[in-house]
Chains A and B, each alone.
Chain A
Amino acid sequence: QVQLQESGPGLVKPSETLSLTCAVSGYSISSGYYWGWIRQPPGKGLEWIGSIYHSGSTYYNPSLKSRVTISVDTSKNQFSLKLSSVTAADTAVYYCARGTFGGVIHRTWGQGTLVTVSS
């Protein structure tokens, strides 16, 4: 079965760039599907950040588009998120997930990683 695991710094300074990686096991990213990032601020709801298709096409939340880059490294079977110019409002649990064009596929969410933006 496919498993996803997020990794990256748990603390990022304001104005810097948040960088996270999602390692995928049990399935080759290059074989198909969309690979997405979703975040959840403490005590709040889910927010879609963006997705990348296995071919490399990217789709970003319009409200974050100017600050977001999602990329794939097929050699390592992982995909990454970069969010620039972060502020405290970007503090959240960040999830990676596998999906279709329509949403996340059952049981293919990562466990999530908390990223705090603070000096």
Chain B
Amino acid sequence: QSVLTQPPSVSGAPGQRVTISCTGSSSNIGAGYDVHWYQQLPGTAPKLLIYVNSNRPSGVPDRFSGSKSGTSASLAITGLQAEDEADYYCQSYDSSLSGYVFGTGTKVTVL
């Protein structure tokens, strides 16, 4: 049950900047729950990319950045590289559902 909405796809040329939105509601992001982002390379398991809205785990390039405002969050990739082609998911907690929720997912294509 995806209650967080993301664009199905975004694309950009190498070196460009792309952003992925994650839109929630007053029972999840708007209620103050933090947002995390995961990267899923083709055929592999998801990997944590950003935690608590804007923090990068060690090993994640600083090309990736996150932000949160109101009922939405965003992931930005600057200096897009071919290796960034993957699916990206946001995740938060929903008080109405009493459970964790994921975004619908966004496929990033490097042109």
Tell me if chain B binds chain A: no
